[in-house]
Copies of this chain bind each other. A is one copy, B any other.
Amino acid sequence: MRFSSSDRQINVNRLEALTDGVFSIAITLLVLTIRIPEPGEIISQSELIKYILSLDYELFSYCISFFVVGSLWISGNKRMKFLRKTDDLHLWLSLLNLLFITLIPLTTSLLSDYGDFEFVELLFHGNILMLEIIALIEWEYLIRNTDLVQEEVLSKLDIRNIRKKNFFSVFVPILGMVISIFTSAWSNLVYLLLFFRSLIIRY
């Protein structure tokens, strides 16, 4: 549990714990983007049903964001699993990653309320884009700093495949940005492509 490997590295376990903490809070705060009526605001049941049904776009945005955050958590886990130790630069990259994770409830909330504005869609896709770019940089850093990685795993890694997958992941929010210029409100459907990522690119 406690390796005491070297004075300068920090346990990978701690980084995993902070990451899981931030992800679980961000994923739970997302639900606050769905606004429910105040007590007394609604009087009849039919009015309430109408209100709940009008939340369709909020619920859709919530599900997409939950799915994207979940997908980032899964790919982040795969990346972190190879780690033997960390260094300061890698830790700061990971914290930068967490910073953009904490912004997702914010950009999702904006999307929920102002999804018909192109600018808000660009902000949301930009948030995801930053996360995917940081993931790509983190991978490249690990590939170049093999002392951070577990040897027995490293040999099994198909680096070409990892890069393909990373570029695909960066491409998806860019596609979302392009689509958001043409249509309004539904451009985040593009993230359903992430579902197929593991099918089209094995890894």
A78 contacts the other chain (Cβ, under 8 Å)? yes
A133 contacts the other chain (Cβ, under 8 Å)? no
Closest Cβ of chain B to A183, distance in Å, is 15
**CA of A118 to CA of B49, assembled, Å:** 10
Contact status of A102 and B28, CB under 8 A, knowing A70-B95, A114-B42, A153-B4 = yes
A49 — which chain B residues lie within 8 A by C-beta?
119
Contact status of A81 and B22, CB under 8 A, knowing A42-B114, A106-B31 = no
A178 contacts the other chain (Cβ, under 8 Å)? no
**CA of A23 to CA of B25, assembled, Å:** 10
Contact string, A106-147, partner B, CB cutoff 8 A, digits 1/0?
A: 100110111001111001000000000000000000000000
Let me know if B27 and A1 touch, CB within 8 A: no
CB within 8 A of A21: which of B10, B23, B74?
B23
**CA of A82 to CA of B129, assembled, Å:** 37
Residue of B nearest to A77 (CB): B10
**CA of A12 to CA of B52, assembled, Å:** 36
Let me know if B102 and A30 touch, CB within 8 A: yes
Let me know if A28 and B27 touch, CB within 8 A: no
Contact status of A120 and B77, CB under 8 A, knowing A21-B20, A30-B102, A102-B31 = no
**CA of A162 to CA of B198, assembled, Å:** 32
| Given contact pairs A7-B153, A24-B25, A73-B95, a sample of 11 additional A-B residue pairs in the complex whose CB atoms are under 8 Å apart | A1-B1, A11-B81, A18-B23, A20-B24, A24-B24, A28-B29, A34-B106, A36-B110, A45-B118, A63-B99, A66-B95
